[in-house]
């Protein structure tokens, strides 16, 4: 085999010209499937798609016109389980043999900052999924108007999963139309709840992990207060872990220096949001602004809630940890995680600074330490978002969302057809002895 062909086989852009893909799923037989988000940036067609990949890297469309953004695609029992962001959020299933498409769960919270995220099927044969928060940190502010995928302040408020009592904290901002607007937590833009107001927990709710049966029945809350659990993974011992995307420097309760976290998901736990981040209160010194000012609590009944969970690890600030896969048996570092880091979204989410993320890292599951993957440092991807191994462990597939950056005016500069899926030999990752 010629040298250039050998190198192409070992590490190459396997599927090209995708429109902002988010997910890859691989069947036990090695068939690769891809989901495009359906975000209509740069003239891309609106509506998510599911694609099957041919051996030569060409694709066949299996499903289209899904609710954007499609955030997850998971293989289970000869079907693909699809997470549709909204609005409203929805989880559906595509039977690969029959081609039948079935809606499993609909009317999930939507039209806010974040969405319905990927599904992971647990050892109990239930579907677990993350539901993102409607806000950055509990109160709707004019920052929602800056989000290029939202551009609206009058969106849905957050829904608590546990019973809460509100503090008397109220935020007043100048609305895009010029008038002064006061709002409180868990309220619509321009609505104020009096201090001491009690709100009952609901299911479905936002900032949560929920689960249901494989047919969508029996929806129940697993845990609450995890801001945006984008990536989920069950470990061989049955533990569920999740990446949480940390609170940004924006809006009426901006938080400085808040990283993303990796949590073990425990039934009945509280992960602290919107008042605790990574186990620390929102007014902790590390989260204060450069003038030393911290944010006030919006909840008044912390003592009634479970103690906030402590993360397994904190990622680098602004790295934007997303989805992950476990290194298969028989390879070096077997059992460790490969985590995709989408990268910073500044200046939308914080002050200008150097680029962070846009890479893969390895997480040692014996001590939850982070490690670089220098063998992949030269791969010219834009924004890795998902990762999966082939059934034989010989290759790793990495989804690159594509060219997607923010301008100084917080607009998005995106390039359609710039997404791709990389196929990388584990030899190139230095995972073989």
pLDDT value of position 433: 62
Which 3 state secondary structure label does DSSP give 56?
coil
For 13-50, write each residue's pLDDT tens digit.
999 999 999 999 999 999 999 999 999 999 999 999 99
Q: Which of 24-38, 49-63, 384-398, 408-422 has the lowest mean pLDDT?
A: 408-422
Phi/psi class of residue 430: alpha, beta or left (left: φ > 0; alpha: ψ in -120 to 50)?
left
- Tokens 């924006």 belong to residue: 250
Q: Name the residue among 340, 315, 341, 208 with its Cα closest to residue 257.
A: 315
Average pLDDT over residues 246-272: 96
0.85 surpassed by pTM: yes
pLDDT value of position 3: 35
- For the CA atoms of 185, 186, 192, 198, the dihedral, rounded to the nearest 10 degrees, stands at -100
Strand partners, 220: 211
Pairwise CA distance, residues 69 & 27, whole Å: 23
pLDDT value of position 9: 52
Pairwise CA distance, residues 236 & 239, whole Å: 7
Task: Using a pLDDT cut of 70, give the percent of the chain over it.
Answer: 97
Confidence of residue 6 (pLDDT cuts 50, 70, 90): very low
- Tokens 């896969």 belong to residue: 325
For 99-146, write each residue's pLDDT tens digit.
999 999 999 998 889 999 999 999 999 999 999 999 999 999 887 777
Residue 204, preceding peptide bond in cis (omega within 30° of 0): yes
Pairwise CA distance, residues 419 & 402, whole Å: 4
Handedness of CA 349, 355, 358, 360 (dihedral sign): negative
**Residue 8 clears pLDDT 50, i.e. is over it:** no
Pairwise CA distance, residues 189 & 371, whole Å: 42
For 182-208, write each residue's pLDDT tens digit.
999 999 999 999 999 999 999 999 999
Secondary-structure breakdown of the chain: helix, strand, coil percentages, each rounded to the nearest 5: 5, 40, 55
Backbone φ and ψ for 422, nearest 5 degrees, come out as: -90, 140
């Amino acid at each position: 085999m010629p040298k250039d062909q050998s190198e192409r086989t070992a590490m190459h852009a396997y599927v090209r010209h995708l429109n902002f893909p988010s997910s890859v799923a691989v069947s036990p037989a090695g068939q690769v499937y891809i989901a495009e988000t359906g975000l209509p940036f740069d003239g891309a067609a609106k509506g998510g798609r599911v694609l099957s990949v041919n051996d030569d890297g060409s694709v066949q469309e299996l499903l289209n016109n899904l609710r954007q953004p499609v955030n997850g695609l998971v293989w289970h029992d000869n079907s693909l389980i699809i997470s549709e962001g909204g609005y409203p959020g929805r989880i559906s299933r595509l039977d690969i043999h029959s081609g039948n498409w079935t809606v499993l769960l609909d009317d999930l919270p939507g039209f806010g900052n974040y969405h319905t995220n990927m599904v992971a099927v647990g050892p109990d044969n239930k579907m677990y999924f993350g539901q993102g928060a409607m806000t950055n940190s509990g109160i709707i502010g004019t920052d929602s108007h800056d989000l290029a995928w939202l551009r609206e302040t009058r969106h849905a408020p957050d829904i608590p999963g546990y019973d809460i009592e509100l503090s008397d904290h109220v935020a007043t901002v100048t609305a895009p139309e010029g008038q002064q607007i006061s709002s409180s937590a868990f309220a619509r833009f321009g609505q104020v709840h009096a201090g001491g107001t009690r709100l009952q927990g609901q299911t479905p709710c936002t900032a949560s992990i929920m689960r249901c049966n494989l047919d969508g029945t029996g929806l129940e809350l697993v845990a609450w207060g995890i801001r945006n659990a984008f990536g989920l993974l069950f470990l061989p011992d049955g533990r569920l872990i999740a990446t949480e995307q940390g609170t940004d420097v924006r809006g009426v309760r901006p938080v400085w220096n808040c990283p993303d976290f990796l949590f073990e998901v425990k039934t009945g736990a509280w992960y602290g949001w919107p008042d605790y981040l990574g186990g620390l209160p929102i007014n902790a010194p590390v989260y204060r602004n450069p003038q030393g000012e911290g944010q006030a609590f919006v909840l008044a009944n912390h003592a009634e809630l479970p103690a906030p969970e402590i993360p397994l690890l904190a990622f680098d600030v602004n790295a934007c940890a997303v989805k992950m896969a476990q290194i298969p048996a028989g390879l070096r570092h077997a059992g460790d995680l490969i985590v995709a880091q989408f990268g910073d979204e500044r200046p939308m989410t914080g002050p200008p600074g150097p680029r962070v993320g846009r890479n893969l890292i390895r997480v040692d599951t014996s001590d939850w330490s982070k490690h670089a993957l220098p063998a992949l440092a030269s791969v010219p991807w834009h924004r890795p978002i998902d990762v999966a191994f082939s059934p034989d462990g010989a290759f790793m597939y990495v989804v690159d969302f594509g060219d997607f950056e923010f301008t100084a005016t917080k607009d998005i500069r995106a390039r359609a057809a710039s997404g791709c899926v990389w196929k990388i030999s584990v030899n190139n990752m230095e995972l073989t002895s």
